[in-house]
Amino acid sequence: MCGIAGFINARGCADGAVLQAMLRRIAHRGPDGQGVFLDGAAALGHRRLAVIDLEGGPQPMFNEDGRLALVFNGEIYNYRALTRELTAAGHAFATRSDSEVLLHGWEQWGRGLLPRLRGMFAFALWDRQDGALFCARDAFGVKPLYYCQTAEGTLLFASEIKAFLDHPAFEKRLNTAQLELYLSCQYSPGADTFFCGVKKLLPGHWLEWRGGRLRTGRWWAPDLAPARSPGRWDGAIDAVLRDSVAAHKVADVEVAGFLSGGVDSACLTALGRPARCYTIGYAEPGYDETAEAAALARALGVEHRVRHITPEEFWAALPAVQYHMDEPLADAAAVALYFLNQEAAREYKVCLSGEGADELFAGYNIYREPFTARWYDRLPAALRRGLGALAARLPAAPGLRFLVRRARPLCRRYYGNTALMTEREKRRLLRSCRGRVQPFDLARPLWQASEGLDTVTRMQLCDLSLWLPGDILLKADKMSMAHGLELRVPFLDREVFALARRLPAAAKADARHTKKALRAAAARHLPDASARRPKRGFPVPVRDWLRRPVWASRVQEAFHSPAAARFFDVRRLDRLLARHLHRRQDNWRQIYCIYCFLVWYDQFFGGDPA
């Protein structure tokens, strides 16, 4: 695990001092060392967190004749099997590192290497003879990779956008169009970013730069194909998860874990028995899961540590969180993860975490929606549209969101499980709202591609493609690497996916339950209460804190900043906050979303002229 950065100059030789500055920006990702390589116009840099082959794995790494140079972020869990296969084919390995299989695998198979890899990765490979750069990102998007081709033609790439700030060819400009999508999704979705010209290399994609020409392509896409017969799946799920957890524990350092009150982390803890588990807690009882986590840790015989967060710590950490995220994120769980990773990183370099279980095994409560209130969906479409339009104009209240959501069929409105602001709400709040790209535009191709499948499976495909890489995995990577900690996610494994993609609808969700098959598998190892505990997400008491004047006044100060006045109708922001503070409406998610954007904006653009 580490951070990578580099560039291919459009004019002249690469400047090593520029590369050094880029790497300093992301030094938190790799506290154990730094490596650089300059080859004419090309510059490749690496910050290392040593986990496998502690002595023999520094990067950039080269093949036998020095033609290929590699920088790599991630872990290849089947590297030993690939090493044996490549050795039998005549390749000579100089290290025990998983990184080296990428070099010899590229020599042997070219792009055919990618589907052979079992792991999480973002890497860049420079061919000195051909003058070509090849980059690739893992199937699910566990590891991030950004790129930018500047006006003069220089290509930049890095694990974090902030590395680009130190390259003289990079022009920092705000992409205001992304703000509208963010206010709907609470994260920055799709390939574009908040920085003009900066793109995400999407999950399962590759990039090639050759002779000044840039092109990208896709090497993997999630293909869900549910089985027709229900059957029993708990045994197969148990077996594949055992195998994945064992693969994800391969390291030359001790592996710890995270433990909440939910079934995902509990299952991994039971199967992996990490050296120690960590849990985040709060003083507010309705949000605290530490008692459940502690009871489970005792039952499993695993050492357990708890880190309680105060509201003072939470609000004070927000600028650092938004800086490390690179783009604004209004998922309050990111702050909890920031402290959770900070605590674990005091003594460990690697932790197991449960991301991906909800998307693969249908764990979100919204997946129950197709089975609830079916009578309402049988009402005439015109009536439902009319009631939804009326509800959208009324102040937020219990039940109105239901009417807005059910005004249209799921296949015409669902783009993720955190739909936040409607187009009408955004038009009221923003000084300029063009609506050129709406959030469902990103989901429409996914619904078209899944035609004929059951509704829950189609929702899963949306979340696998948008929400998982855009929010869940991005905050997991950025919050762990902010403290130099490697997070491993055994649910997001190619073998686990190969099984999960075949789960029938009956094994996923119904009107009362989610993750039905996974819970049955987990019940083999967990107390019944842990296996059946309902989905709670990662609860954070922001709703309650924003009803205390001390924290509401902090937000109000941001709402009266020059940045707020540039983008928003300040009077409406005041009204939004006042109604929440005085318990007339529950507006905490909208308030927090706007506030996070303003905090992020101050981190990256605060010193710039308006």
pLDDT (tens digit per residue) in 284-300:
888 888 988 999 999 99
Q: Is residue 361 part of a domain?
A: yes
Question: What single-letter amino acid sits at 101?
Answer: V
In three-state secondary structure terms, 120 is strand
Q: Is 594 annotated as a binding residue?
A: no
Whether residue 54 is contained in a domain is answered as: yes
The CA distance from 207 to 326, in Å, is 21
450 is in an annotated binding site: no
Does 574 lie in the same domain as 518?
no
Same domain for 603 and 459: no
| Overall average pLDDT of the 498-502 stretch | 97
Residue 227: give its domain's CATH number. Answer: 3.40.50.620
Nearest to 159 by CA among 118, 105, 200: 200
Residues 526 and 545 placed together within one structural domain of the fold: no
Q: Which of 487, 510, 540 represents a domain boundary (last residue)? A: 540
* Domain assignment of residue 274, yes or no: yes
Helix (H, G, I), strand (E, B) or coil at 200: strand
CA atoms within 13 A on the CB side of 239: 6
| pLDDT mean across residues, the chain | 93
User: 519, 540, 561: which is the final residue of a domain?
Assistant: 540
Q: List b or e across 175-196, with b for residues whose CB sees 16 or more CB atoms inside 10 angstroms.
A: eeebbbbbbbbbbbbbebbbbe
Tell me whether residue 354 is annotated as binding. yes
Residue 537's pLDDT is 65
Considering the domain boundaries, does residue 181 fall inside one? no
With respect to residue 381, please indicate whether it lies within any of the assigned structural domains: yes
Residues 200 and 228 in one domain: no
Q: How far is CA 77 from CA 89, 99, 118, 250, 251, in A?
A: 20, 11, 6, 7, 10
- pLDDT for the residue 284: 86
pTM for the model stands at 0.95
What is the structure's pLDDT at 527? Answer: 85
528 and 560 in one domain? Answer: no
**Which pLDDT score, from 0 to 100, does residue 392 have?**
77
Last residue of a domain, one of 218, 250, 282: 218
- Say how far apart CA 44 and CA 7 lie, in whole Å: 7
Query: Stretch 250-275: mean pLDDT, rounded?
Result: 92
Q: For 78-116, how does the pLDDT look when each residue is reduced to its tens digit (9 = 90+)? A: 999 999 999 999 999 999 889 999 999 999 999 999 999
To the question of whether residue 6 is assigned a binding role by annotation, the answer is no
What ranges make up the beta strands (E) of 238-369?
255-258, 277-282, 304-309, 350-352
pLDDT at 163 over 60: yes
- Is residue 323 over pLDDT 90? yes
CATH code, domain with 204:
3.60.20.10
pLDDT band at 452; cut points 50, 70, 90 = very high
According to DSSP, the residues that pair with 62 across neighbouring strands are 69
Is residue 501 a contact partner of residue 220, using CB atoms and an 8 Å limit? no
Domain with 558 in it: 541-610
DSSP bridge partners of 39: 42
**Do 259 and 278 touch, CB atoms closer than 8 A?**
yes
Span 9-19, pLDDT tens digits:
998 899 999 99
**Is 448 inside a domain boundary?**
yes
- What's the farthest any 2 CA atoms get from each other in the chain? 72
Average pLDDT of the residues in 517-545 = 86
Say yes or no to pLDDT of 182 above 90.
yes
pLDDT 10s digits, 213-253: 999 999 999 999 999 888 889 999 999 999 999 999 988 89
Q: What is the pLDDT of residues 47-85, one digit of tens each?
A: 988 786 666 668 899 999 999 999 999 999 999 999 999
CB atoms within 10 A of CB 287: 19
Q: How far apart are CA 267 and CA 533, in angstroms?
A: 12
Report how many domains make up the chain: 3
The mean pLDDT value for 343-367 works out to 96
Catalytic residues: 2
Rg, C-alpha atoms of the chain: 24
